[in-house]
Every structure is written in structure tokens, then in C-alpha cells.
Structure 1
Amino acid sequence: MKKTLLATAIAGALAASGAQAATVYNQDGTKLDIYGNIQIAYASVDEGAETTDQIADNGTTFGFAAEHVINQGLTGYLKLEFDDIQADEIKSNDEDTTGDQAYVGVKGNFGDVRLGSYDQLIDDWIQDPLTNNEYFDVSDSTSEAGYGGIRETDKVTYTSPSLSGFQFAVGTQYKGDAESENIDDSGSASAFGGVKYTAGAFSVAAVYDNLENFQYIDGNNVESVGDQYGVTFQYTIETLRLAAKYERFDTDNASVTGVPDYDFYALGARYGYGMGDIYGAYQYVDEGGEGVSNINSNNTPNNDQNDDDNRNEVIVGATYNVSDAMYTWVEAAWRDKELDEGDGVGVGVTYLF
């Protein structure tokens, strides 16, 4: 789900205290909340050969959040969230509703330990401050290198408390040899981590992920695709948030995998004008050599060439708050790709509870 500042604030409140959610049970140190949203959008996007448009679901979500006090200073919690509800065609949708996030954890003065499926650390700390928008986002090392939602699964993460402004997180994603997405003949564990520093209105975060579980088959060998890392700076002046990002996907062997190196240099801003937000971002994408933009689903190199090379991306948008729980939005994107692929405009409405 993409979020405006309003939605982000509500989501943060949900995670912290269940505010804005419907509390269905709160007794003897145990609390259960339900929450969700409906998001519907109209978008027109250039596909290169043609322009297509549709009224579509834009990330409608329904979730449960629970926590209970284990002892003084130690709290257990869970979150179970579903998306792919397809609110625009729910009566004719034959596909099963799928999960978005599901995890269990404990938190206290020592920090936070979480196990399950949830967003990547590089997504939360590096990418989202630039464009965690409603429909259009700038490209990043995850979208270009591929594998999508599988990166969010089978993870454990420890996040420290903030100590004099410093905070760190370390974790791993483990794929056992019983899992179909593991193409190795044994279990495989990745390593990722990050550090964040906050001083007043300024913050900086850096994250590294070795992507050990995202591999390809080269003959009889299993080879690593590469790794990703980045750094993001943020500065907030009252209701204006400024951000700058450098991010990289560093391929291990572009000539074999067909996935080139990518460097991303981006600037973004978001201003709350009282009844909503106005926001925009510019990004320069430096593609380091010809290749393909992804690995096939069978984890072998694709042969389709990607000739986009270097490009500029611009995303602009605005929201208007109809109420504390309902807002509308409009966005536009320019990708600087051949045949204007990826350019588009969109409008939509979101209701949260």
C-alpha cells in the first residue's frame, strides 16, 4: 500500500498504539485491533506500444494487530494483513485474497525482534522517504533487479532502540531446501543491515542487503545475482520534508545474468499545506551497461535486451483530505524511456479506518 503523510501517520499510530483502528478486545494486558482501507484509482499509463487505462484497486488492505504484556518492559505482538482484495471488481474476482504482511515479535527496552513476512529494510529506510506515493514511484534497486514480493518473506530482524540518536537493524532471510523458491541444494541465509542517525529535524540512514537468496542458474552452477545498498538523507522544516537518496544495485556478473548495475540519484520533497500534501521527486537512473531488467521466474537469465540506458524520472502529485480518514489524490509520472513507456497520470480516493 502506498501512503501519503496522513496514511503514514495513521499506520504509525496503528503500529504503536492501535489508534484509528477498531479495538475489539482490550483486557488484562491483551489488545486486538482491526484496521484497513479501501483504495480505488483511475490511471492511464503508456505501455510503449499503446496507452492503457482502467479503474482499479490500488492496494485495498484489511488487517489485524494484536499485542499483550508478557512482563514489565516486554511485549509480544503480531500483525496479519491482507491485500489484493480488488475492491473495484470484488464481486467478479475469482482469485484468492493474498497476504501482504504477517509477522510475530517481541519488543521492549532492549529493542525489537520480528519474525515473518514484511517490507525490506532498504524499502522502509532508503526508498520510502523519496516516493512512497499513491500510484507512481521512482525506480529503485528492487524494481530493477526483480523478484518482487518474495524479498519480504521468511525473515527475522532485530532493531535496536535509539541511543543518543543512533539506531541499527540487522537481519536475515532464510530459505530452506524444502522451499520451491530455493534453487540451491541446501538452506540459504541472506544478511542485511542498516544504521540510522537522527538529530532534531535531520536524519540519515544507510542499508546493505547481500540478496543471497536471489540467485540464477548458470549451467550446473547456482550464482548470486548481486547485492543492493543505499543511503538517504532527510530534513524536516515544519510541514516540509526534504530528502536525497543514493542507491545501487551491484550486479555480480552482468554478462551472464543479463542484469546490469544500476545507480539511482534522487531528490524529493513533500509539503503539507493544511488540507493535504503536495509532493514531487526527481531521479537520475544510471544503467551500467546493456542487459535485461529481470531474471525469469525459473531463475535463469532472460534474453530480452533492455536498451533504456540512462534516464531521468519525475513524479509529482497532490492529496486533498476530505476528512481525517478519507482523502483524494492526483499524480503524474515521466520516465524518459523509449516510446514514453511508464509515463502516466492517475487519480484516486482512499478511505482508512
Structure 2
Amino acid sequence: MKKTLLATAIAGAAFASGAQAATVYNEDGTKLDLYGNIQIAYYSVNDANGDAQDEIADNGTTFGFAAEHVITRDLTGYLKLELDDIKADEMATATDDEDAGDTAFVGLKGNFGDVRLGSYDQLIDDWIQDPITNNEGFDVSDSTALHGNGADQQTDKVTYTSPSFGGMEFAVGTQYKGDNDSADGGADQGSSNASFFGGAKYTAGAFSIAAVYDNLDNTVYEDLDGNVDSVGNQYGLTAQYTVDTLRLAAKLERFDADGNVNRDDTNFYAVSARYGYGNGDIYGAYQYVDVGAGSFLSELDEQIQDEQNRDETYNEVILGATYNISDAMYTWVEGAVRDRENDQGDGVGVGVTYLF
């Protein structure tokens, strides 16, 4: 499961009905919370040959610390640390640097807004992709998957998020990679580099709309001539409307390969709905994926694309439901149809989550 615990808590009806973090210290303006979950799931998913492969696996078990300290009446410092690749099925913590400690940041917040420094989810993930499918096991595909290592895109960032001005807020940030950092895909930047990402969100009552851009300048590839360049750009636009316990969302997302012949310009058009029925949620999403959409390629690039037969479209459908066993424990079931060759990626999953 790709989301952080807090995103899971918002999406899962179990948390909404009462489960919460444990405050272990709260004195003199300083507060420390501990929180976490255990997640176990069973999956059966088709491989590239169309053969079902099943397993019982950890589904994103998390343990976290959140702290804040009131510096002045209008200024608060805070931190958050999540170990979110703890393997409950193996009773061991992952040691791979790309997987361990996915969320670790410090920040300052006040009337001026919020400044955050460290490792955390991408803005396009939070504002554009999650409102469509921030599910337990199966999400629709997105532009992040097209450029490889999304985990690397979460690190070494600073973000400023403004306060709301009549419902309008914006966020701008950068990911900084120094001389000693190795960029995504193993290609060395050779020098320090700062990327740019930013977005704006407008909320009016039950309606909200958000737009995000990320230039992916630190997510690079090396071409046949040894040149290192950005894999492309990400854009996204998502609108949401909530009425009672029903949330509706629509998304337009694009990955612009920007001349990278190893990737394809791809558009994603998606709609989703989530309904809280009292003892849990039922939810679903449909997405149309247009691979090769709007590409501006040279004659050689077009020949490479034709040879690899990458000009395709897909229809993706995700359906799921949760059921609350208690305020802190729930079960879920999900299914996915991805419209790929040999039904690759189609599957079902069931699981149980305990939150504290």
C-alpha cells in the first residue's frame, strides 16, 4: 500500500469512527504522539503470461512518531517520522534505503503558512492522484509509475504551502540533489541540481479543484550517447465534490516524455466515487489511459515507438469495500481489471488492518 498512515486514516472508515494516535507526552507546549498499524493481505494477481500468482503479504505496516512544540503563539515547530516498510509477515524491518523511512521531515507552521523539509509524498500524489484511488491494495495507474522510482522523488525536498486566501491556497517546492547524490535510474547528475514543483488548490464548500506541475529535473535517464536529462514532466488536474458521505472525483493527468524515447507521452482520464455506508466504505474508479497521446517525436523516435508498439489505450476499473470490525480494526476486499495483454495486473485482494 503506497499511502502514508494519515492518508489511510482519512480514506478508511475505521479510523474516522474513533481510532487515533496515542499521546505519550503533552506538557509545556510540547506534544509527542505514537501511532501505527498492522496490515496483512492476501493477493492473487495475474503475471505477464496471464497466470495467477498469489501470496499472503504485508500490506504497508507502519510505525510512526509525530511531535510538535509551540515556539510562540503564532509559530509551531513539528516533526514526523514514519517507518512504513516494516514487514509484518517477516517480523523484520526493510533495510533497502529506497523503502525504509519513507516519511521523515521537520517543519514550521503559523499564520504565514507551512514550511516543510525532508522526505514525504509528492505534491502530485497528495493533491492529484490520491483523491481518485488511495486504496488498500489496487490503485489506477498514474504518471509517477512511468518514470521509475517514485520513492526517490519523495526525498530531499522543501515545500512551502500558503494559508488559505478565501479558499485559495498554493504550494511550491524543490527537490535538491547534491554533487554526491545519484539520481533516479542510476544516472549520475554530475553536479548539484534543484528541481521545481508547484500547485494551487481552490475550495468552496463541498467542492475543490487542484492543479500540480512537477518538472522531474532530478529524475533522469542516460541516453545512448551518455547524455543525462530529465525523463520528462508531470501535470495534473483533479476536482472533488462531497455530499454527505459520498465523495466524487475526476482527474486529468499527463506525463510528457519531452523527447525521452524510453518513455511515452501518456494521458490519464479518471473518475471515482467513495460512499460511507455506516460500517465502512464502498468505492470504485474508472480510468482511460492513452499511451503515446500527443507525442511530438522525430522521425527516428517514431520508428522506435512503432517497433516497440507503444501507441496503446487501456481501460482500468477498480472496485472495493471496507467493513469496520471495531473503531480500530477493519477488513477490506478489492478487485482490479487493467485491460493489459494476457490480463496482466488483473487481480483480487482481501486484507485486515489494525490501527492505533
Q: Which residue of 1 aligns with 2:138?
A: 136
CA RMSD after TM alignment: 2.5
After superposition, what is the alpha-carbon deviation per residue over 1:24-52, rounded to whole angstroms, capped at 9, x for unaligned? Answer: 11111011111000000001000121210
Residue 157 (structure 1) aligned with residue 135 (structure 2): no
Q: Which residue of 1 aligns with 2:124?
A: 122
Aligned mate of 2:333, from 326, 330, 334: 330
User: 1:46, 1:344 within 8 Å by CA — same for their partners in 2?
Assistant: yes
Q: How does 1:1-353 map to 2 (within 5 A)?
A: 1-2=2-3, 7-8=9-10, 20-49=20-49, 50-90=51-91, 95=95, 98-181=100-183, 183-218=188-223, 219-254=225-260, 257-288=261-292, 305=308, 307=310, 309-353=312-356
Q: Compared with structure 1, are the counterparts of its residues 352 and 94 closer, same or farther at alpha carbon in structure 2 (3 Å cutoff)?
A: closer
Q: Compared with structure 1, are the counterparts of its residues 237 and 5 closer, same or farther at alpha carbon in structure 2 (3 Å cutoff)?
A: farther
Corresponding residue SS for 1:142? helix
Corresponding residue SS for 1:194? strand
Q: How far did residue 10 of structure 1 move?
A: 8.2
After superposition, what is the alpha-carbon deviation per residue over 1:11-36, rounded to whole angstroms, capped at 9, x for unaligned? Answer: 9x99xxxx811111111101111100
Corresponding residue SS for 1:329? strand
TM-score scaled to structure 1, two decimals? Answer: 0.89
Corresponding residue SS for 1:339? helix
Structure 1 residue runs without a partner (length 5+) = 292-300
Q: How far did residue 147 of structure 1 move?
A: 1.7
Q: Compared with structure 1, are the counterparts of its residues 351 and 266 closer, same or farther at alpha carbon in structure 2 (3 Å cutoff)?
A: same
Aligned-partner Cα distance in 2 for 1:32–1:322: 28
TM-score scaled to structure 2, two decimals? Answer: 0.88
User: 2:172, 2:198 within 8 Å by CA — same for their partners in 1?
Assistant: yes
User: 2:256, 2:265 within 8 Å by CA — same for their partners in 1?
Assistant: yes
Q: Which residue of 2 aligns with 1:294?
A: none
Q: How far did residue 7 of structure 1 move?
A: 1.6
Aligned-partner Cα distance in 2 for 1:68–1:282: 43
Aligned-partner Cα distance in 2 for 1:47–1:149: 23
Corresponding residue SS for 1:59? coil
Which sits farther off after the overlay, 308-317 or 101-110? 308-317
Q: How far did residue 220 of structure 1 move?
A: 3.5
Aligned-partner Cα distance in 1 for 2:139–2:215: 24
Aligned-partner Cα distance in 1 for 2:113–2:23: 25
Q: Compared with structure 1, are the counterparts of its residues 75 and 95 closer, same or farther at alpha carbon in structure 2 (3 Å cutoff)?
A: closer
User: 2:39, 2:351 within 8 Å by CA — same for their partners in 1?
Assistant: yes
Corresponding residue SS for 1:322? strand
Bigger relative CO (Cα 8 Å, ≥ 6 apart) = 2
Corresponding residue SS for 1:258? coil
After superposition, what is the alpha-carbon deviation per residue over 1:205-242, rounded to whole angstroms, capped at 9, x for unaligned? Answer: 00000001111122232222110011000000100000
User: 2:8, 2:134 within 8 Å by CA — same for their partners in 1?
Assistant: no
Q: How far did residue 85 of structure 1 move?
A: 1.2
Q: Which residue of 2 aligns with 1:298?
A: none
After superposition, what is the alpha-carbon deviation per residue over 1:146-167, rounded to whole angstroms, capped at 9, x for unaligned? Answer: 2220000000000001110000
User: 1:82, 1:99 within 8 Å by CA — same for their partners in 2?
Assistant: yes
Structure 2 residue runs without a partner (length 5+) = 296-303
Q: How far did residue 6 of structure 1 move?
A: 7.1
Give the counterpart letter for 2:262 in structure 1. G
User: 2:291, 2:310 within 8 Å by CA — same for their partners in 1?
Assistant: no
After superposition, what is the alpha-carbon deviation per residue over 1:92-145, rounded to whole angstroms, capped at 9, x for unaligned? Answer: x78578212000000001100000000000000000000000000000000122
Q: Which residue of 1 aligns with 2:298?
A: none
Aligned-partner Cα distance in 1 for 2:88–2:94: 13
User: 1:4, 1:132 within 8 Å by CA — same for their partners in 2?
Assistant: no
Number of matched residues?
334
Aligned-partner Cα distance in 2 for 1:306–1:102: 41
Aligned-partner Cα distance in 2 for 1:79–1:4: 11
